[in-house]
Amino acid sequence: MNVLTVTGKRLFLTGDEAVARAALEVGVEVATGYPGNPGTKAITALIPLAQQYGMAVEWSVNEKVALEVATGAAWAGKRSLVGMKMSGVNVMADSLLSIAHSGVTGALVIYAVDDVGVYYGMVEQDTRYYAQLTSLPLLMPAIPEEAYAMTRIAFTVSEQTGAPVFVLSTTAVANAITAMKVGKIERDMHTRPAHFARNLAKFTKAAPQWCRDQHTDTIKRLEQAGELFKKASEDYGTSLVFTIPGQVERTPSSEIKRSGIIVAGVSFAYLQELRQHYPERFADIPILKLGVVNPLPQREILDFLAHVDIALVLEELDPIIETQVMALMAETGLKVEISGKRDGLLPRVGDYSLELIETALAHLDELAGRSPVWIKLRRPESSAGMQEMPSLAGSKEGVANQETPDLNHNGQNKFHIHSEIAALPRSLEFCPGCPHRMTYYALNRAIEQSGFTKDEVITTGDVGCTIIGMNAPLDACWTEVSMGASIGIAQGFKYAGIERPVLAAMGDGTFYHNGIAGLLNAVQSGVNLTLIILDNSKIAMTGMQPDPGTGRRTTGEPSVRADIAMLVRGCGVEYVKRLNPYDLPKMINALQDAMLHPGVSVVIAEAPCTMQGVLINEEPVQVDQEACMAGRGCEDTPCYHKVGCPSVLLSLEDVRPHLSIDTATCVACGLCVAACPYDAIKPLPAVGKEESITGNAFAGVQLRYLLQD
């Protein structure tokens, strides 16, 4: 049974799933999105229920298209949902502003998730700015229960005002899981027939006066939404803005200044936890909780500030609320000391934590003249516990000179690392046998055989699994900007005068998302560059979602399968090679030829994602210790230091380095076998043949169709 429809009045749901459950209850008929963590699970949860509840649910080719599809449904009077991570809001921004000014006739809820703390990669951004830019209402939950309640309210307010409504979550809220009370799934009462009336003044931008009128209407809808949000408590049973009063009220003449806290987002959950543990410390500190961030509830804020001398503002990322609070004070003449980000107390980078908020509360006590009761546990400028990747993922500094104790547990002399043999730095890496590793390895060999070093040939990377090629030992990718940007960046390098070969690399999902336009532009420019498309027919990094090349719709039905090679040729590319990356000699030769070809050349490395327990070649492999020359002539150990496969294990506990293959994770891709100059990695005869795929040069391509069927 789907997690959204488990029997009972209380369900265990994540923040993402809470949004999906609310949408299901209020009769959403169209749900679209583009996978990207955090935020993927909302649409994912609805996919298995699409047929049962008569919904159209899809992973669109990109976020802009997802918004446009959802908008079409909302213009026809339906309730629609579009979901994405914060980077996707940038992608859809072009259409978003126009749609915001036209409004909707049904309901449109935009569920976005900011990756505060950058746990999943890409730019750390504050999507609240988009609500201000577009004059759209924005609700911000602090816990999954609020995500559920706010989504229900958002659909109702969107339908009543005609304004698309943002529900903006963050990584901490989207991934949190809790038991929550849910309502009934009563979809029939929300359905109505599709209808769209021709109205050029509302749905086009053809006349200046129409555009000005639409802008005026957008502002009016925002104001109306603000009034409806204020009635949420009586109409929906949920307070979006409320004050938790202090138990002791101080007078203005008190020696201790009156202090209060204004808070939005997940920081309120941290405050609540501290209040439960230390209720006496909050006895005289009122808290204003803001669930509505746009439009900001000005009257409630002014009423709150009228009873305090000092206010601490808690919000992650940029000081958006804090700045507006200070502007309100300037307009009304209120004299309240505001502390938060603008005075340097709290960081604008990274996510908040209990420790960070305790530090802020200690500062608040100092400003108020209280005796200190909070312990400052960490510097405000530090993060909330993110583990940093190595500062130079491809650097050998600090690796080759690692020190080890002189004796191992048996009292024997350990191997001293006077050579280059040492453990690789820990970083994000490809799965065992990943075809992308094969492609990047082949690229590095092609670069060497062309007379260059890796440091001389630029390969611009792209979003997704593709960028993992930046890490040691492959060290292939140099840049990452946004989906599909690698081609344009590569063209810019050629325009700048880079004479050596320049390559761009992207996955098939990225190519469909926003890579085709860049390829068209590069072809028209006439520059010499090579595009490598890593085609596994899936959007792998976010959970194996289908893309146009999968041959399956989001809900599993067969669909027309896009052919990347045909699309590339349609863009005007003459040199197009589609190869299986597990065929290393052909892959190396093709990449060498491509780098020499005038104009734009494209190499498509086509092979599916690997699966643990499914062997690519017939037999698993292991290191023949007698033939292995590690530590006795083979100092660069290419099977380990050039391949970088997690199934190739290096132990420095013995008298000399000991290399072995983890047969539990190895999928017998053959890369380490090809990399070993001494033929010391050999098949284990008659082991695991029953689990392997019939071996031939294109076993990877065969595996593609096996997995899809």
CATH code of residue 58: 3.40.50.970
Q: What stretches of 292-341 show up as alpha helix (H) in DSSP? A: 298-305, 320-332
Q: 178 and 265 share a domain?
A: no
Closest CA to 238 of 141, 320, 335, 117: 141
Q: 696 and 552 share a domain?
A: no
Residue 591 falls within a domain, yes or no?
A: yes
Quote the number of domains for the chain: 4
Query: Distance between CA 103 and CA 210 in Å, rounded?
Result: 13
* Amino acid 234: pLDDT: 79
* Placement of tokens 């546990």 in the chain: 377
Q: Lowest-pLDDT range, 319-333, 381-395, 609-623? A: 381-395
Closest CA to 263 of 240, 282, 289, 244: 289
At 375, the pLDDT band (50, 70, 90 cuts) reads low
Q: How many CB atoms lie within 10 A of CB 387?
A: 7
Per residue in 71-105, pLDDT (tens digit) is: 999 999 999 999 999 999 999 999 999 999 999 99
Q: 350 and 245 share a domain?
A: yes
Per residue in 136-160, pLDDT (tens digit) is: 999 999 999 999 999 999 999 999 9
Query: Distance between CA 652 and CA 419 in Å, rounded?
Result: 12
Chain centroid, CA 499 distance in Å: 35
* Placement of tokens 């939950």 in the chain: 141
* Residue 480 · residue 461 · CB < 8 Å: yes
Instruction: Point out the domain boundary residue: 368, 388, 420.
Output: 368
DSSP string, 377-419: -S-TTS-SSPPPPPSSTT--TTTTT----SB-TTSPBPPP--S
Residue type, 25: E
Closest CA to 615 of 687, 511, 682, 672: 687
> Per the omega criterion (within 30 degrees of 0), is the bond before 473 cis?
yes
Query: Distance between CA 283 and CA 373 in Å, rounded?
Result: 13
* Amino acid 172: pLDDT: 96
Q: 555 and 485 share a domain?
A: yes
* Amino acid 191: pLDDT: 76
Q: Which residue has the higher pLDDT, 387 or 484?
A: 484
Residue 611 falls within a domain, yes or no?
A: no
Give, as one character, the DSSP assignment of residue 634. B
Query: Distance between CA 135 and CA 118 in Å, rounded?
Result: 27
Chain centroid, CA 595 distance in Å: 32
Q: 671 and 594 share a domain?
A: no
Query: Distance between CA 116 and CA 168 in Å, rounded?
Result: 12
How many CA atoms lie less than 13 Å away from 671 in the CB half-sphere?
Answer: 32
Length of the chain: 709
Q: 564 and 655 share a domain?
A: no
Query: Distance between CA 223 and CA 97 in Å, rounded?
Result: 17
> Three-class SS of residue 28?
coil
Query: Distance between CA 320 and CA 34 in Å, rounded?
Result: 27
Radius of gyration for the alpha carbons in the chain, expressed in angstroms and rounded: 29
* Amino acid 6: pLDDT: 84
Q: Which residues, listed in sequence order, are joined to residue 167 by a DSSP beta bridge?
A: 111, 139
* Amino acid 467: pLDDT: 92
Residue 399 falls within a domain, yes or no?
A: no
Q: 550 and 686 share a domain?
A: no
* Amino acid 27: pLDDT: 94
Could you tell me what percentage of the chain is helix, strand and coil, using 3-state DSSP and rounding each to the nearest 5?
40, 15, 45
Query: What's the rounded mean pLDDT across residues 465-485?
Result: 92
Q: Lowest-pLDDT range, 54-58, 230-234, 619-623, 660-664? A: 230-234
At 651, the pLDDT band (50, 70, 90 cuts) reads confident
Report yes or no on whether pTM surpasses 0.75.
Answer: yes
At 386, the pLDDT band (50, 70, 90 cuts) reads very low
Q: 162 and 278 share a domain?
A: no
Query: What's the rounded mean pLDDT across residues 343-359?
Result: 94
At 689, the pLDDT band (50, 70, 90 cuts) reads very low
Q: Does 213 have pLDDT greater than 80?
A: yes
Tokens of 576: 């197009």
Tokens of 53: 């509840």
Q: Are strands 287-290 and 241-244 parallel, antiparallel or unpaired?
A: antiparallel
CA triplet 474, 515, 556: central angle to 5 degrees? 95
Residue 404 falls within a domain, yes or no?
A: no
* Amino acid 424: pLDDT: 65
Query: Distance between CA 709 and CA 705 in Å, rounded?
Result: 6
Chain centroid, CA 113 distance in Å: 9
> Three-class SS of residue 623?
strand
Per residue in 573-603, pLDDT (tens digit) is: 999 999 999 999 999 999 999 999 999 999 9
Residue 428 falls within a domain, yes or no?
A: no
Q: 627 and 563 share a domain?
A: no
* Amino acid 374: pLDDT: 72
Per residue in 280-302, pLDDT (tens digit) is: 889 889 999 999 999 999 999 99
* Amino acid 426: pLDDT: 65
Give, as one character, the DSSP assignment of residue 515. I
- Domain housing 71: 3-188+202-228
Q: Calculate what percentage of the chain has a pLDDT beyond 90.
A: 71
Q: 210 and 98 share a domain?
A: yes
Per residue in 396-446, pLDDT (tens digit) is: 343 344 444 444 444 444 434 434 566 666 678 899 999 999 999 999 999
Q: Does 165 have pLDDT greater than 60?
A: yes
Q: Does 46 have pLDDT greater than 70?
A: yes
Q: 579 and 440 share a domain?
A: yes
When the pLDDT of each residue in the chain is averaged and rounded to a whole number, the result is 87
* Residue 226 · residue 297 · CB < 8 Å: yes
What angle, 0 to 180 degrees and rounded to 10, lies between the N-to-C axes of helices 298-305 and 320-332? 70
Q: What stretches of 467-549 show up as alpha helix (H) in DSSP? A: 485-496, 508-510, 516-525
Residue 484 falls within a domain, yes or no?
A: yes
Q: Which residue has the higher pLDDT, 636 or 577?
A: 577
84 phi/psi in degrees, rounded to 5: -170, 165
Q: Does 664 have pLDDT greater than 60?
A: yes
Residue 418 falls within a domain, yes or no?
A: no
Q: How many CB atoms lie within 10 A of CB 559?
A: 14
* Amino acid 8: pLDDT: 75
Residue type, 63: E
Q: Which residue has the higher pLDDT, 9 or 662?
A: 662
Residue 551 falls within a domain, yes or no?
A: yes
Instruction: Point out the domain boundary residue: 606, 631, 649.
Output: 606
Q: Does 466 have pLDDT greater than 50?
A: yes
Q: 330 and 455 share a domain?
A: no
Torsion of CA 471, 476, 478, 479, to 10 degrees: -80
